[in-house]
Structure 1
Amino acid sequence: MTEMELETSFAEDESEDVPNTASVEAAVVSPAPASKAVTCTPELLKMYYSRLFPFSLLYDWLSYGSNTSVFSKREFSFTIEPVPDEEIYIRYQSFTTQEELAQAIVKRCPKKIDIGAVFSHSPKEKDTLQAGQLKPELRELVFDVDLTDYDGVRKCGCTGAQICRVCWGFMPMAVKVMDQALREDFGFEHIAWFYSGRRGVHAWVCDEVAKSLTDEARHAIAGYFEVNLGSENNKEVQLAHPLHPMLARAYELLEPMFIDQVLPASGHGLLATPENCQAFLDELPEAAAPVREKLLPHWTTPAKFNNTTPAEKWESIKEHLSAFLSAKKGVAKAAKNMSTKERNRLENWPVEMVFRHGYPRLDVNVSKARNHLLKSPFCVHPKTGRVCVPIVNVDSFNPFTVPTLPKLEQELIKLDASADWKQTSLKDYFEGFENTFLNPLMKEIRRKQRDAAEQKAAIIGDF
């Protein structure tokens, strides 16, 4: 691996979310192997929770305008480690106030915090309720994208939990496609993106209509984004012809990033060597064999290979396919007996290649059920020690510069005892979240409250 690829090498595998199958309040789970680097100790967590965790931001957000009846019915779960190498997972925690939540977190010092739904009753009352009484009522629409699911197309040397700056480029692709569709196709406005702390991203859609969606509706929205990207044995991407407008828009968005980040040697090198070009041309469907034979000597002969850049090779194959299908004069013509299915696949083939590498890969199980918990924003990933910070600008976001607990400890050592996150490297992340997401959300909530009050006053004649 190169120096860039070795920038981080967190090799242990770990799920980024919590399954919704736990039916007990606490359970001992198998311990994960400890990281060699000291990144997340009980002492560092204590420091972070007591001095830096943004409890006010989390409370303002999850109470949606200091609505205590909503906040008090919200489920939290903690993963704690009372003794080394023994983790205990505690579900159905709930808190009435910000102070109560803060006290519990500082006291228990959880290695991991997860957030669930707003239930019909306070989750902590679970054992006093009859079976079936505790039901999820509200839940943000959430999405999880993990680089592990890109292993088949990561040509940078990373697999599993490893990441580098090259393969991280798949995350901005996913964020942009999903964010645009959520806003333009579904009309959602209040969408917050967060770094998982290790190898992925999470989205929280917080519009009122999104929080009220049924499980069936959530499943349908997650399904809206699903594309069959093929398998190891059958690499054909299943695409309808003509393309759905959302997919056509996604292709326009992804193709420039595919050209910049997937094709060249500085990226995944798909068209960076004669050998890779040979493999790329072998991906063409058999119906386009004349195109492959036409380009093969130009792309794989050392004397001719450097005559064109990877970007130019990409444009060339698109032009040759188009000419082949349109029977342009001077170009090999498509067979007259080519089936409609074969022709459609050749027309979609550039889209197929772009999607195979850059289209979002979702863990739909995270999105489709209201009672599924997801890692809390602002907490710390126990394997990396990195804070799960908001992603305000996905183009400039760099996971390798995200504050870690050891770094924050060193920053606090240089500050006085009253310093909080506003004096540390967390400032830009947390203020960005506040300015671009939380403040607009609170503004809309206040507007709706004012409109409701005015409407009520008009009905009863209280002017």
Structure 2
Amino acid sequence: MPHSVSPGESPSHSDNDEVIPDAPQTNPPSNVSENKEPENTENEASNDNLADLLFDEDDDDEFPASSAPGTKDSDTAMPDAVDSAASQPAKVDTDTMLAFYQRLFPFRYLFQWLNHGIIPSPDFGNREFALTLQNDAYLRYQSYPTADLFRKDILRMNPSRFEIGPVYNTNPRDRKTLRGGQMKPISKELVFDIDLTDYDDIRSCCEKANICAKCWQFVIMAMKVVDTALRDDFGFEHIMWVYSGRRGVHAWVCDPRARSLPDDRRRAIAGYLDVLRGGAQSGKRVNMKRPLHPHLSRSLDILKPYFAQTILVDQDTFVSSEQAQRLLTLLSDKSLNEALRKKWESSPDRPSASKWADIDALANTGKGGTLNPATRRDAQDIILEYTYPRLDSEVSKKMIHLLKSPFVIHPGTGRVCVPIDARKAEEFDPLSVPTVTQLLAEIDAYDAENPSTGAGTDAVEGEGSVPNESDARGSRRMQDYEKTSLKPYIDYFRSFIAGLLKEDRGGKRERSEDTTEVKTESMEF
């Protein structure tokens, strides 16, 4: 994208990077503050105070119901703050992991998702998988022609987790027989990674691997900003968010157009979304030109309520003298800084909400009793600095990057990496995501209460499988996942795949009906 129109400071690109044009400012979403007057370079609201910146008004038979023993889980309702040593289960043992793969892991649906259809194709067969074994050995360039062979190898290897890489132009297992440079990645979902450890300098409730309901709000606001930008500015539709199992989320943008993006386009999109500059100790990290780019104006509208609640109240971020000093360095008015410093030093325990109100009160005592335009700009930049998504942009820039598969078990917490419906992001509670031992116990409890329930089969869709196999009475056998709290997550995954496959089928028909027309996918937005 041109340097002059990037929402943040323009990222450094190599000379051969392809750039993406700016988003059009016509027909913005209803929550976007549209800048129609070019002479209004301050992006001012009608009311000149800081309060205005914050308070604007198919059934399948894949999963065997074997009688593998389940271990009773001791998980109970967790408090807001979670101590990793006290609350997280010990490393998942190999027998429990194997039982999970045998009884619960959705191999068929994962195959359909990555294969973009039910008939095996190179989209799956040339896909790289990387397995982390129980002894921490790391096996790259694994590939599988069918879902059945994929499942059999996972059961044989019983990895503690596995990651998903790109689709290559040839089978990645054959790399050693090829000359250097002959094996090249040709497609991969556009991915994003958000980790709460990147917020450790501003979250006061937890640190490192620990999370709670208060600091999870940072993830929610990041999901909303990124998801909205990907949909509204780039036109992507099939975006799946997945809980990492401990302290973050991953986004998989699965549209056909996104999967085929070359690395220079991926870097450009990552740069578009990357607004924060430098590290926590590098001074002001947000310094936006005015009028604000439409993406930033929209993001500010999304983030202002979170700043008011999460930063000023829940985290009380500015209550400490160190954070208060940091806040002062982000205000350019020296006389205002000195007045605020004196006021806060006389009341060292003054809460963050009061300190934010002090900026408003003291700034409005100047000429005309209105907020200095520079202070208003500073306030907007501060809101963005403390709430805007902190992305690990390196994850997004290269097609060859590997990312942990959905539905694997996080080895540190025992929790399943489940998908999240972004439309209901605020309803998702990472601390209530089931652990593997909890799920196996739920199966045992269900079977004990319903002894007549038929057992499933080991078949998966592919060679020798019998979809929707029924018991002797003609009723479909309930799959093990349906007996557990994993069911809503797998059901959501299935619905996501259905929408994706519908678009893929439509795109293939379109290409086959008109092979003479060369279609280009514009990245303009």
- Does residue 161 of the first structure (1) align with residue 209 of the second (2)? yes
Aligned residues: 406
| 2:295 is aligned with 1:246 | yes
Q: Distance in 2 between matches of 1:370 and 1:247?
A: 27
Equivalent position amino acid for 2:111 in 1? Y
Whichever residue aligns with residue 409 of structure 1, its letter is L
Residue 349 of structure 1 aligns with an amino acid whose one-letter code is D
Deviation at 1:134, TM superposition (A): 0.9
Matched, 1:146 2:195: yes
CA distance in 2, matches of 1:330, 1:449: 63
Partner residue of 1:49 out of 87, 101, 105? 101
Equivalent pair of 2:330/2:382 in contact (CA under 8 Å): no
AA at the equivalent of 1:153: I
Measured on the aligned residues, the alpha-carbon RMSD in Å equals 3.0
Tell me if structure 2 keeps the 8 A contact 1:258–1:354.
yes
Counterparts of 2:324 and 2:393, CA distance in 1: 35
Structure 1 position 41, deviation (Å): 1.1
Pair 1:111-2:160 in alignment: yes
From 314, 332, 335, give the equivalent of 1:289.
Answer: 335
Q: Tell me if 1:68 matches 2:121.
A: yes
- 2:359 corresponds, among 314, 317, 328, to 317
- Structure 1 partner of 2:221: 173
**Secondary structure of 1:263's partner?**
helix
Question: Residue type matched to 1:287 in 2?
Answer: D
Q: Of the candidates 395, 416, 420, which is equivalent to residue 366 of structure 1?
A: 395
Pairwise mapping of residues 231-310 of structure 1 onto structure 2 (< 5 A)?
231-242=279-290, 243-264=292-313, 267-270=314-317, 279=325, 282-283=328-329, 285=331, 287-290=333-336, 293=339, 297=343, 301=347
Question: How has the CA–CA distance of structure 1 residues 316 and 106 changed in structure 2, closer, same or farther, with 3 Å as cutoff?
Answer: same
Candidates 501, 506, 518, aligned match of 1:447 = 506
Contact 1:196 1:202 in 2 (8 A): yes
Say whether residues 1:405 and 2:436 are aligned partners.
yes
The reply on whether 1:38 has 2:90 as its aligned counterpart is: yes
1:395 counterpart SS class:
helix
| Cα separation, partners in 2 of 1:389 and 1:294, compared to 1, 3 Å | closer
Give the 3 Å change call, closer, same or farther, for CA 318–217 of structure 1 in structure 2.
Answer: farther
Residue 223 of structure 1, CA deviation: 1.0
Once the two structures are TM-superposed, the CA of residue 150 in structure 1 deviates from its matched residue by 0.9
TM-score, structure 2 normalization: 0.71
Alignment deviations for residues 321-349 of structure 1 (CA, whole Å, 9 cap, x no partner): 4x47xx54257x97xxxxxxxx65x3322
Q: Does 2:174 align with 1:128? A: no
SS of 2:200's partner is helix
Q: Distance in 2 between matches of 1:227 and 1:330?
A: 32
Percent identity over the alignment? 40
**What is the CA deviation profile of residues 394-414 of structure 1, one whole-angstrom value per residue up to 9, with x for unaligned ones?**
111111000101101211212
CA-CA distance at 1:5 after TM superposition:
5.3
> Secondary structure at 1:132's aligned position in 2?
coil
Greater displacement, 59-68 / 105-114: 59-68
User: What is the match of residue 16 of structure 2?
Assistant: none
Structure 1 residue ranges without an equivalent (≥5): 12-34, 335-342, 458-463
| Secondary structure, counterpart of 2:368 in structure 1 | coil
The superposition leaves residues 3-60 of structure 1 with CA deviations (integer Å, 9 ceiling, x where unpaired) of 845424159xxxxxxxxxxxxxxxxxxxxxxx98335111111011001001111111
TM-score (normalised: structure 1): 0.80
Distance in structure 2 (CA, Å) of the matches to 1:287 and 1:384: 47
Distance of aligned partners of 1:277 and 1:427 in 2 relative to their CA distance in 1, 3 Å threshold? same
Provide the residue aligned with 2:132 in structure 1: 79
Deviating more after overlay: 124-133 vs 229-238: 229-238
Per the TM alignment, residue 318 of structure 1 is displaced from its structure 2 partner at its CA by: 4.3
Structure holding more helix per residue? 1
